[in-house]
Structure 1
Amino acid sequence: MGLSPAIRRPIADVLAALLTLMAICWALSVPRYLGLGFYPQQFFAAILALVLPIAFLELPARRFSHRTVVPWYDVALALIAFASVSWIAVGYPQFVLQIFAKPAEVWIPGIIITLLTLECLRRATGWTLVLIICAFLLYALFGDLLPGRLQGRAQNWQLLAGYMALDSNGILGLPISVAGTVVVAFILFGTLLGITGGSNFFTDAAMLGMGRFRGGSMKIAVLASGLFGSISGSAVANVVGTGVVTIPMIKRDGYPGHKAAAIEAVASTGGQLMPPVMGASAFLMAEFLAIPYSDIVAAALVPAILYYVALFIQADLDAARMGIRPVPKSEIPARRTVARGLHFILAFAVLIWLLFWKGYQPERAALWSAVVLIATSFAIGYRGSRPALRAIFGSLSRCGHSVVEIILISAASGLVIGVLNVTGLSFNLTYLLVQIGGNNAFILLTLSAIVCIILGMGLPTLGVYVLLAALVAPALIKVGIDPIAAHLYVLYFGMMSMITPPIAIAAFAAASLAKAPAMATGWAAMKFGWVAYIIPLLFVFSPTLLLHGAPWEIALAVTTAVVGVWLVSIGLAGYFAGLLTPGVRVLFGLAGLLALIPSGAFPQAVVTDVIGVACGFALMVWRLMSRKPATAKDTVES
């Protein structure tokens, strides 16, 4: 009783392709050109009406289980979901005016949509985010029973159901508006990169550029995962997508399995912090702060580069310490082969030009870049092949399937935002955090970092950011921290939950691919990703690292930060011109921390920069002058 694969797959593919086409039409303002007028929430409801049935058709009730036939009850739930959301979409102009009257035609579909959205979310991401959202909904119903500052306004359950399903602060609110338009456009761009050979080009370019150097396999993993992760919507998906290639390559070169997995996990997680997509958080951040998307990209660029500089340097030093050889020449692609793929860079150049110089909306810029990508791929191709027209059209359904999880998370995140708005919980939490922090920015930042890591454990990127942007960022802004710095701060520490034990889901996913101990991989990932725990504190106290300030101040801050990252990485790796003693490692680390402090952090910060850089270079010169010939012992892992 149910749908066989022969029936289920075409239906799901058509729904997914229709989802992508609708997002494209909305991004290009096709309804306006056709003279069609309707509420944006009607469009978002139509998107959700496609996503929920796809989820029930594609995702089994038991996660990670395999099924060939979709059972009858999932078919029924898919039809109920489609009918309920379509009912809201069609009748939205009348229903939205009747929310507070609590008619049955509003609250009944509201309950159905809320429950089915949470069930689809559970199938896609697990119980963690679902339980958190359920806790918020229970707070909305019984918040008046809590004591002290956390006491809220209890809501009527019928009113709450209608509000969550119809209001622009609920399921059909800001998160799904970003996911259903901007994210779809960028995921389509990323899907086309895979179909046209662009992903292979970037991997080949990384191998050509780094394969001839020591520890080339690790550096290839860092570059490839960073490039792929910058347009990927999930750290775990990035680990799985690139790790199947990079982790065996690193292990084959003699690296321990847990460290190979840790490097991949850290590199993949960093992709969620690297523009342009940043796990879809960049677009939502721009909407939350009501500033241009280009401002978010500019602010996030230097911290993300420092993240990868630290990882790259540690990979290099570890390779030197362990005697890891370059990648065999036979596996490095020819320059001529890679040069034929340079046309892929043109699509990214168009994307940057449209975003920063022409001021296009992100979704439009991504779509035009996709057109350029298709055109150059048909004209030039890569590795002697060109994409088939059928594959290009197939990218519509592939993109639709790829964004299902992100849209589900976005819709569910709207429930959290809705509860915060109707109960006053957002204000109460802000007040409570500020009160605990005693209006001391450093104490509040430390407390917020802990809260962010705990709340982020087990959650996807977008879910992490929405929760933290609503719960923690307002408290940071309240004590005078720059809004962009506050939002990037919570994003960084929320993402660090991906590699921070005990629930480091990106590290654990990489560990499973490497067949390595999970906890050992998590601790190694924390070491490789150390800079992400430090950089947020620096750009909060000195926005020069966010490119805010005079050009000379920015240049000085970035330069000393790079030197500081280098010095601390030497201390952590324990190698520079030979193995380092514990005392010398500590000296390198201290010099690096002094150099890392941005010049604008406090009045005497320039002095600490000078001391740190001078001491660091002095240590380097001393090590180079006292270097001894390498012995077999030098290549043994300490």
Structure 2
Amino acid sequence: MAAGGDRAAPDRGAPRLGGGVPKRVWGPVADFLAILITGLAILWALDVPRMVGWSFYPQQYLAAILLLALPLGLIRLPARRAEPREVLPWYDLIAALLAFVAMAWLTLGYPTLVNQVFMRPPEVWVPALVVLVLLLEALRRATGWALVIIIVVFVLYALFGDMIPGRLAGRPQNWQLLAGYMAVDSNGILGLPMGVAAAVIIAFILFGNLLTETRGSDFFTDAALLGMGRFRGGSMKIAVLASALFGSISGSAVANVAGTGVVTIPLIKRDGYPAHKAGAIEAVASTGGQLMPPVMGAAAFLMAEFLSISYSAVALAALLPAMLYYAALFIQADLEAARLGIRAVPADRIPPKRLVLTGIHFILAFALLIWALFGLLWQPERAALLAAASVAVTALIFGYRGQRPGLRQLFGAFAGTGHAVVEIILISAGAGIVIGVLNLTGLSFNLTYALVQIGGGSLLLLLVLSAAVCIVLGMGLPTLGVYVLLAALVAPALVEMGVEPIAAHLYVLYFGMMSMITPPIALAAFAAASIARAPAMATGWAAMRFGWTAFVIPFLFVFSPTLLLIGEPAAVALAVVTAVIGVYLVSAGLAGYALDRLSMGQRALYIVAGLLALVPAQAFPGAGATDLVGVALGAGLLIVDILRTRRAATSG
């Protein structure tokens, strides 16, 4: 003990008393697990196991991914989400080891154990129970309580469903059987969501991480600044374009806000936009990235599996609604700038063209991705690896703005990918529990029947109810979890009413996504508000206005799949033209500006004309007349506006 009773200052890098393992010890272990996750996914995507003659169940590969991801989640994620993770407590170390041992047992013994599930031996249900409990805890740490509570409710239904009266009564399950079924069966945690996450999503996140490490994301932001900065409201247009490009590879609306918003939101505010509108337009642009082909978000790959169609078919169907979404956002950015008198971005903030062009090679990766997906019809994960390889090779050769990445940076993308996918893998495993309960208990059929009965045979009423359910379920949940729930609970009811399956799934995806910008819980809008230092609710309401197309277009493509490019070419072309006209008219009405400021009465007429023009001619008998009336009314309003502005200019 030091003289005078003073104690020596503790070593911050040493383990706390009774406390755990310092980061210098557990950090490399976590990185190693993350690299293994990425490496396994690459080997699987390239079909290396088959090439070398390894034979095993696909579920063993999924179990191996969870074998790495579950301990990694327990190591990296603290019990209290706000706490920094510097020292790994002993209880988390023990939990991670238990998860590793239990999953290793299930992975290696899978061929035998899968045939014993219904016999309920301890060697199945004991490790299964350990995995399920630790999975829920890791999921709570990663996403919060909302998804965990939903999963627990489903599990309780599986155990006690016979106690629920009426049509929703279920078949009660033995708890040992339920544990084993969820952990081992292909309809449980090793089911479809995990299959997509462990194969496709890891490959695309690797692609996105390599773009970040090689400054490819900087290139797209600079390209947006160069292309749009010289026009009025250029900063808002830059946010729209940059977020659309970045969002199509990030897979997360909130991550997109964080990634591009730190650049675009201050830029928008400096141009004179109100803070809440700066945050709102970034939130809407970031959310739409998951709806924009060619990459879209993780849910789109899962949709292809649910519908048993190619991903390219999903991307093609989603193309026009996504373009209308961004067209409306772009038009509103332009008209808001005109109404507020905001000019172009100052020339000194725009990067020189010669420097931006040094990154033109990054476009090759997207060209290869589109060619592999749509031309060669490759599996999405292999196409993503081709694009990732292109990014790595061209960045090493050409670099960007005079800088080339080092091999350490490229290698760091592998560890970064493994860390980034942990949350998605945990969510996918949790979603498998929900799907397993639906299959095991018959709840899926009962819920579909109940929704159709509540709708009373009215498709419009069912769509409104479904939209409300989608937004409520989506509040506070990650996108992938939202889509899995909605695809299982809501989409079948829409299909039962005669809706095209792909239209039904895109419908629930759109409204599930809109929970990201819909108060009272709007995660993307609130994240943007924190960057903009604006009121959260005001940002959320402004985001709803900017993203209005996502609340309208899904109703239209349900009634007329021409907006999904399904139908005769002439009908599709007419739907595209009238939809673009309608988007402009409604956007002008909402912005309060067309060729000049609009009065409240004029704004209302613009919105009415736009909505009429938006309705596809095949939506219902006589819908062609609404198109004609909407376009004619819009043309008349624009002519009046032209004459008014000319008179004002002459008199001025």
Same-fold call, TM cutoff 0.5: yes
Q: Which amino acid aligns with 2:536?
A: A
Residue 622 in structure 1 maps to residue 640 in structure 2: yes
Q: 2: CA distance between counterparts of 1:373 and 1:519?
A: 40
Q: What is the CA deviation profile of residues 357-381 of structure 1, one whole-angstrom value per residue up to 9, with x for unaligned ones?
A: 1110000011011112222112211
Residue 195 in structure 1 maps to residue 222 in structure 2: no
Q: What is the CA deviation profile of residues 509-563 of structure 1, one whole-angstrom value per residue up to 9, with x for unaligned ones?
A: 1111111111111111111111100000010011011010111111110111011
Aligned to 1:406: 424
Q: Which amino acid aligns with 1:41?
A: Q
Aligned to 1:253: 271
Aligned to 1:462: 480
Q: Which amino acid aligns with 1:261?
A: G
Aligned to 1:235: 253
Q: 1: CA distance between counterparts of 2:602 and 2:570?
A: 32
Q: How does 1:15-54 map to 2 (within 5 A)?
A: 15-54=33-72
Contact 2:167/2:446 (<8 A) preserved:
yes
Aligned to 2:438: 420
Q: 1: CA distance between counterparts of 2:525 and 2:124?
A: 44
Aligned to 1:603: 621
Q: 2: CA distance between counterparts of 1:357 and 1:242?
A: 31
Residue 151 in structure 1 maps to residue 151 in structure 2: no
Q: 2: CA distance between counterparts of 1:208 and 1:253?
A: 16
Q: 2: CA distance between counterparts of 1:313 and 1:175?
A: 37
Residue 175 in structure 1 maps to residue 193 in structure 2: yes
Residue 138 in structure 1 maps to residue 156 in structure 2: yes
Contact 1:276/1:282 (<8 A) preserved:
no
Residue 343 in structure 1 maps to residue 366 in structure 2: no
* Match of residue 370, structure 2, among 347, 352, 359: 352
Residue 55 in structure 1 maps to residue 73 in structure 2: yes
Which 4+ runs in 1 deviate beyond 3 A?
628-631
Aligned to 1:482: 500
Aligned to 1:523: 541
Secondary structure at the counterpart of residue 640 of structure 2: helix
Residue 206 in structure 1 maps to residue 224 in structure 2: yes
C-alpha deviation, 1:484, in angstroms: 0.1
Contact 1:257/1:516 (<8 A) preserved:
yes
C-alpha deviation, 1:122, in angstroms: 0.7
Aligned to 2:31: 13
Aligned to 2:515: 497
Contact 1:16/1:54 (<8 A) preserved:
yes
Q: 2: CA distance between counterparts of 1:483 and 1:212?
A: 43
Aligned to 2:143: 125
Q: 2: CA distance between counterparts of 1:539 and 1:449?
A: 14
Secondary structure at the counterpart of residue 561 of structure 1: helix
Aligned CA distance change for structure 1 residues 405 and 629 (closer, same or farther; 3 Å): farther
C-alpha deviation, 1:2, in angstroms: 1.5
Contact 1:545/1:554 (<8 A) preserved:
yes
Q: 2: CA distance between counterparts of 1:5 and 1:278?
A: 35
Q: Which amino acid aligns with 1:144?
A: D
Q: Which amino acid aligns with 2:506?
A: L
Q: 2: CA distance between counterparts of 1:373 and 1:552?
A: 39
Residue 567 in structure 1 maps to residue 585 in structure 2: yes
* Match of residue 552, structure 2, among 529, 534, 538: 534
Q: 1: CA distance between counterparts of 2:164 and 2:648?
A: 66
Residue 506 in structure 1 maps to residue 524 in structure 2: yes
Q: 1: CA distance between counterparts of 2:392 and 2:511?
A: 37
Residue 289 in structure 1 maps to residue 282 in structure 2: no
Aligned CA distance change for structure 1 residues 254 and 119 (closer, same or farther; 3 Å): same
Q: 1: CA distance between counterparts of 2:506 and 2:382?
A: 25
Q: 1: CA distance between counterparts of 2:148 and 2:646?
A: 58
Q: 1: CA distance between counterparts of 2:71 and 2:59?
A: 19
Q: What is the CA deviation profile of residues 93-124 of structure 1, one whole-angstrom value per residue up to 9, with x for unaligned ones?
A: 00000001001111111111111111111111
C-alpha deviation, 1:307, in angstroms: 0.5
Contact 2:503/2:557 (<8 A) preserved:
yes
Secondary structure at the counterpart of residue 278 of structure 1: coil
Q: 2: CA distance between counterparts of 1:44 and 1:248?
A: 42
Aligned to 1:306: 324
TM-score (norm 1): 0.98
Report percent identity of matched pairs: 68
TM-score (norm 2): 0.96
Aligned to 1:430: 448
Contact 1:473/1:490 (<8 A) preserved:
yes
Q: 2: CA distance between counterparts of 1:509 and 1:333?
A: 27
* Match of residue 92, structure 2, among 63, 74, 87: 74
C-alpha deviation, 1:603, in angstroms: 3.1
C-alpha deviation, 1:628, in angstroms: 6.6
Q: 2: CA distance between counterparts of 1:119 and 1:234?
A: 22
Q: Which amino acid aligns with 1:399?
A: T
Cα RMSD (Å):
1.1
Gaps of 5+ in 2: 1-18
Secondary structure at the counterpart of residue 599 of structure 1: coil
- Structure 1 stretch 282-291 or stretch 617-626: which is displaced more? 617-626
Aligned to 1:387: 405
Q: What is the CA deviation profile of residues 405-450 of structure 1, one whole-angstrom value per residue up to 9, with x for unaligned ones?
A: 1111100000000000011100000000001111211111111111
- Structure 1 stretch 504-513 or stretch 467-476: which is displaced more? 504-513
Aligned to 1:549: 567
Question: How many residues are treated as equivalent by the alignment?
Answer: 631
Q: 1: CA distance between counterparts of 2:607 and 2:513?
A: 24
Q: 1: CA distance between counterparts of 2:152 and 2:373?
A: 38
Aligned to 1:635: none
Aligned to 2:337: 319
C-alpha deviation, 1:67, in angstroms: 3.1
Contact 1:149/1:428 (<8 A) preserved:
yes
Contact 1:578/1:630 (<8 A) preserved:
no
Q: 1: CA distance between counterparts of 2:221 and 2:293?
A: 18
Aligned CA distance change for structure 1 residues 363 and 630 (closer, same or farther; 3 Å): farther
Aligned CA distance change for structure 1 residues 409 and 630 (closer, same or farther; 3 Å): farther
Residue 378 in structure 1 maps to residue 386 in structure 2: no
C-alpha deviation, 1:279, in angstroms: 2.1
Q: What is the CA deviation profile of residues 146-177 of structure 1, one whole-angstrom value per residue up to 9, with x for unaligned ones?
A: 01111000100000000000000000000011
Q: Which amino acid aligns with 1:532?
A: A
C-alpha deviation, 1:326, in angstroms: 1.3
C-alpha deviation, 1:345, in angstroms: 0.8
Q: What is the CA deviation profile of residues 270-309 of structure 1, one whole-angstrom value per residue up to 9, with x for unaligned ones?
A: 1111123332011100100101111000000110110011
Q: Which amino acid aligns with 1:248?
A: P
Contact 1:16/1:398 (<8 A) preserved:
yes
Q: 1: CA distance between counterparts of 2:182 and 2:224?
A: 46
Q: Which amino acid aligns with 1:35?
A: G
Q: 1: CA distance between counterparts of 2:619 and 2:331?
A: 25
Aligned to 2:8: none
Contact 1:485/1:539 (<8 A) preserved:
yes
Q: 2: CA distance between counterparts of 1:248 and 1:5?
A: 35
C-alpha deviation, 1:630, in angstroms: 8.7
Aligned to 2:13: none
C-alpha deviation, 1:629, in angstroms: 8.9
- Structure 1 stretch 96-105 or stretch 339-348: which is displaced more? 339-348
Q: 2: CA distance between counterparts of 1:213 and 1:117?
A: 50
Q: 1: CA distance between counterparts of 2:117 and 2:134?
A: 20
Q: 2: CA distance between counterparts of 1:412 and 1:64?
A: 23
Q: What is the CA deviation profile of residues 39-89 of structure 1, one whole-angstrom value per residue up to 9, with x for unaligned ones?
A: 011110110011111111111100122231111111111111111111100
